[in-house]
Amino acid sequence: MSEKLFIFDTTLRDGEQVPGCQLNTIEKIEVARALEELGVDILEAGFPISSPGDFNSVREISKAVSNPTICALTRAVQKDIDVAADALALAKHKRIHTGIGVSHSHIYDKLKSTPEEIIERAVAAVKHAKKYVEDVEFYAEDAGRADNEYLARVIEAVIKAGATVVNIPDTTGYCLPQEYGRKIKYLMENVGNIHKAIISTHCHNDLGMATANTLEAVINGARQAEVTINGIGERAGNTSLEEVVMALRCHKHLNVDTSINSKLLTSTSRMVASMMNMPVQANKAIVGRNAFAHSSGIHQDGVLKSRESYEIINPVDVGLDESVIALTARSGRAALNHRLELLGFKLEQKELDEVYAKFLELADKKKDVRDDDLLYLVGAATGEK
């Protein structure tokens, strides 16, 4: 039996902060319902103090969605926490996510404070949030660049104050996987009361390491991952939900799994991309248009003989019907014949050679060859109209 990794989805908070991605309340409810269907455990619905619209969205999502815990973000400020509690009032399961910066630059430059004062403010925020909800998550902003000894003191203090989850964000996407993994290990080994809380990982993708960092944190003991659909989020984005889920499914030896229904990954990705006006790059892992497309002849021949020769995931597991064998000038006879058979043609070797020669001429001129083109080529070669 594998251990559970809780999936905390922040598409509607960290993801939605991206310029151009804003959704209205009705659209947010639609996405929230899709996330519930997908099986996320915690759904961060917004930052209620930030605007009346965000407050309203958190309130409406709290009414519309009942399986996941609904979470609202706050700064370590009483007023933020009061407003978040109000927005969450109707949620069946609720969590307040409060926190403060803990790196040198956040403590001295941004907050103009001192390490001791930050601990006091962190503890006060958690205690205040505890007056409203049992489930309080604390985020140690910019933990990725924070001193580990100091971070451990902050975490120990907020757990003592009642935090049930401690979030260790790599806010600036700075860490390398081993470094971030060591940070989690350090906390596991040096925070006396760490067994009383769940460690959460929250990574940004500025160096393209978000998924690797998240997995390294899981390997070292984190049991909640904060992620977004398609990895959308501030700057280069957040850790992508689909990558973490499928990496764990592919590497069962890690013995950690999520409750996500992976068959809904593609449809959820497409819905979020279209609603948030954020197209997914074609070569994006798991959900990109080409993630299961094979175009070179060698790969196509391999996949047609045995899917596993070039695929580590069955496309059906992420909600696709099948792999795509793209017909381009790099395709071989095997791919062409496969497509022709799907179109209902069974050609003799000589006919296939003839169609293949014409196909290559056409494919050198066109980016990809479509079924209509094939029907024309077969007709010309076999004399059929």
Binding-site residue set for Mn(2+): 14, 202, 204, 238
Nearest-Å Rg of the Cα atoms of the chain is: 25
By CB under 5 A, the residues from 6 to 25 that bind Zn ion are 14
Which does residue 301 touch among Zn ion, ligand KIV, none (CB within 5 to 8 A, set by kind)? none
CA distances from 365 to 125, 235, 329, 330 (A): 64, 38, 9, 12
Which residue number, 171 or 224, has a Cβ lying nearer to ligand KIV?
171
**Can you say how many angstroms the Cα of residue 117 is from the centroid of all Cα atoms in its chain?**
34
Q: Which stretch binds ligand KIV (CB under 6 A): 52-60, 167-175, 183-191, 370-378?
A: 167-175
Which does residue 101 touch among Zn ion, ligand KIV, none (CB within 5 to 8 A, set by kind)? none
Integer Cα distance of 230 and 208 in angstroms: 13
Least gap, CB of 312 to ligand KIV (angstroms): 30
Which residue number, 46 or 315, has a Cβ lying nearer to Zn ion?
46
Q: Per-residue x/- mask for ligand KIV, residues 103 to 142, rule CB under 6 A?
A: ------------------------------------x-x-
For residue 202, state whether it binds ligand KIV (rule: CB under 6 A).
yes
Integer Cα distance of 221 and 200 in angstroms: 9
Q: Give 194's DSSP letter.
A: G
Integer Cα distance of 211 and 203 in angstroms: 8
For residue 94, state whether it binds ligand KIV (rule: CB under 6 A).
no
For residue 93, state whether it binds ligand KIV (rule: CB under 6 A).
no
Question: Phi and psi for 256 in degrees, rounded to 5?
Answer: -135, 135
Q: Which stretch binds ligand KIV (CB under 6 A): 165-173, 241-249, 261-269, 332-340?
A: 165-173
Quick one: residue 144, left, alpha or beta (phi over 0 = left, psi -120 to 50 = alpha)?
Answer: alpha
Least gap, CB of 167 to ligand KIV (angstroms): 6
Which residue number, 211 or 323, has a Cβ lying nearer to Zn ion?
211
Which residue number, 169 or 181, has a Cβ lying nearer to ligand KIV?
169
Size of the site for ligand KIV (CB under 6 A): 8
For residue 44, state whether it binds ligand KIV (rule: CB under 6 A).
no
Question: Phi and psi for 323 in degrees, rounded to 5?
Answer: -70, 160
Identify the bridge partners of residue 165 per DSSP, sorted by sequence position: 137, 198
Which residue number, 68 or 99, has a Cβ lying nearer to ligand KIV?
99
Three-state DSSP state, 140: strand
Among 11, 171, 224, 230, binds ligand KIV (CB under 6 A): 171
H-type helices in the chain, by residue range? 25-38, 52-64, 78-87, 104, 115-130, 148-160, 177-190, 210-219, 241-250, 265-275, 297-305, 333-342, 349-365, 371-382
Residue 282 CB-density burial (10 A; 0-12 exposed, 13-18 middle, 19+ buried): exposed
For the chain, what is the largest distance between any 2 Cα atoms, rounded to a whole number of angstroms?
85
Residues 6+ apart with CB under 8 A from 49: 55, 74, 75, 77, 79, 80, 83, 84
Which does residue 15 touch among Zn ion, ligand KIV, none (CB within 5 to 8 A, set by kind)? none
For residue 142, state whether it binds Zn ion (rule: CB under 5 A).
no
For residue 14, state whether it binds ligand KIV (rule: CB under 6 A).
yes
For residue 169, state whether it binds ligand KIV (rule: CB under 6 A).
yes
Which does residue 181 touch among ligand KIV, Zn ion, none (CB within 5 to 8 A, set by kind)? none
Residues binding ligand KIV (CB under 6 A) = 14, 139, 141, 167, 169, 171, 202, 204
Contact positions vs Zn ion (CB under 5 A): 14
